[in-house]
């Protein structure tokens, strides 16, 4: 599918909507210039949403500048961080478009604010807790231009120690995968694509492949496709938004692909401190994804099974002597997540 043409932007500048946040005062000579030139139309709009990850965000942005040579624009939205992130970003990266919000909109909804500033034919979503390696964004854009039929593209993610972080892409959740997860079969048979299907078994993400879902830590999408889909659904404030996006995209013929040529470090979970709170949000998102994307006849059984997941994990922890841990707390808080983002609007069982 073709991409819309980006218009030539004005000279790079700091943009903070007056109605949203106070304007920051910076001096351009205090920070290095980004690798975009005012006379070049950007081919890539790089979007970073930050929340209380000041040092990681700065390291991420430095890696973008150091490792990206294609014409790009860098757009950073800070979700009302309390750690001085916005001021630090403004001071070091004055040519970036910085949107310093006074309220936390969440990851998904923040992108609708950012979209108004996008001028490039491709949108690149990049988590603030990542480090770009070896021209990864250049390579990912080149991959997209070689495989335009894919519509959504992802890369390979590593942990800080260089080992594989397999969360860059997933297979879609199915009734069978829910059964395997609740029964613990995905953990017992990690290398099996049958029992650990959502993670594609132990595939090392070292070959190019079509995938169901590219995660939002490193997700490239044609701006035209983003607009056609309406971007992220605001119901998914945190977690599940890219799964919903990719599944909606597949429904209109998009076939996401990943390449190991584009590799980054992804630390993961840097802005989410409490394990139980994270699991509650994940469970709520997973239940909502079942409500929206499972065949009608499978939604009821899938919901019933998935609701048992924290209980079975807590039970396994107690039996093994590790204790119930966060899973026990998530089970106690099941009223918060067991219906997804209730009420379900027009979703039939």
Distance CA 325, CA 311 (A): 11
Please, which pLDDT band fits residue 9 given cuts at 50, 70 and 90?
Answer: very low
What the block records as the tokens of 93 is: 């990266």
What the block records as the tokens of 328 is: 């026990």
φ/ψ region of 229 (left if φ > 0, alpha if ψ in -120 to 50, else beta) reads alpha
Is the per-residue pLDDT at 271 higher than 70? no
Q: How many degrees, rounded to 5, is the angle at CA 265 between CA 263 and CA 270?
A: 145
Residues 6+ apart with CB under 8 A from 175: 294, 298, 301, 302, 305
CB-CB contact of 190 with 201 (8 Å): yes
CB-CB contact of 260 with 194 (8 Å): no
Is the per-residue pLDDT at 125 higher than 90? yes
- Helices H / strands E in the chain, number of each: 12, 12
Q: What pLDDT score does 78 carry? A: 97
Global pTM reads 0.85
Please, which pLDDT band fits residue 270 given cuts at 50, 70 and 90?
Answer: low
Q: How many CA atoms lie within 13 A of 201 on its CB side?
A: 5
Please, which pLDDT band fits residue 323 given cuts at 50, 70 and 90?
Answer: confident
Give the mean model confidence (pLDDT) for residues 202-213.
97
Distance CA 232, CA 122 (A): 16
Please, which pLDDT band fits residue 273 given cuts at 50, 70 and 90?
Answer: low
CB-CB contact of 47 with 126 (8 Å): yes
Q: What is the DSSP letter of 335?
A: G
Q: What pLDDT score does 322 carry? A: 82
Distance CA 143, CA 138 (A): 9
Q: Give the chain's domains with CATH numbers.
A: 28-170+211-266 (3.90.550.10), 275-336 (no CATH)
């Amino acid at each position: 599918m073709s991409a819309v043409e980006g218009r030539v932007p004005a000279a790079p500048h700091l943009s903070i909507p007056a109605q949203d946040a106070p304007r920051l005062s910076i001096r351009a000579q205090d920070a290095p210039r980004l690798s975009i030139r005012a006379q070049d139309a950007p081919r890539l709009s790089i979007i970073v949403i930050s929340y209380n990850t000041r040092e990681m965000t700065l390291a991420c942005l430095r890696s973008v500048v150091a490792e990206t040579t294609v014409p790009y624009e860098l757009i950073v939205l800070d979700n009302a961080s309390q750690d001085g992130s916005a001021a630090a970003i403004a001071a070091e990266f004055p040519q970036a478009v910085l949107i310093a919000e006074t309220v936390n909109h969440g990851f998904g909804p923040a992108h609708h604010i950012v979209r108004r500033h996008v001028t490039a034919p491709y949108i690149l979503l990049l988590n603030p807790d990542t480090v770009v390696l070896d021209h990864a964004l250049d390579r990912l854009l080149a991959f997209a231009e070689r495989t335009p039929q894919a519509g959504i593209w992802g890369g390979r993610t590593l942990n800080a120690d260089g080992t594989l972080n397999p969360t860059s892409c997933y297979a879609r959740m199915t009734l069978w995968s829910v059964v395997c997860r609740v029964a613990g079969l995905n953990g017992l048979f990690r290398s099996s694509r049958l029992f650990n299907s959502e993670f594609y078994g132990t595939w090392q993400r070292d070959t190019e492949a079509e995938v169901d879902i590219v995660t939002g830590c490193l997700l490239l999408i044609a701006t035209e496709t983003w607009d056609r889909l309406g971007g992220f659904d605001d119901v998914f404030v945190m977690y599940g938004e890219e799964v919903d996006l990719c599944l909606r995209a597949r429904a209109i013929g998009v076939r996401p692909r990943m390449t190991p040529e584009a590799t980054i470090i992804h630390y993961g979970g840097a802005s989410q401190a409490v394990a139980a709170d994270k699991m509650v949000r994940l469970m709520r998102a997973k239940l909502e994804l079942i409500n929206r994307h499972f065949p009608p006849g499978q939604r009821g059984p899938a919901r019933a099974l998935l609701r048992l997941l924290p209980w079975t994990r807590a039970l396994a922890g107690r039996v093994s002597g590790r204790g119930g841990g966060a899973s026990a707390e998530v089970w106690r808080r099941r009223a918060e997540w067991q219906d997804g983002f209730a009420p379900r609007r027009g979703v039939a069982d």
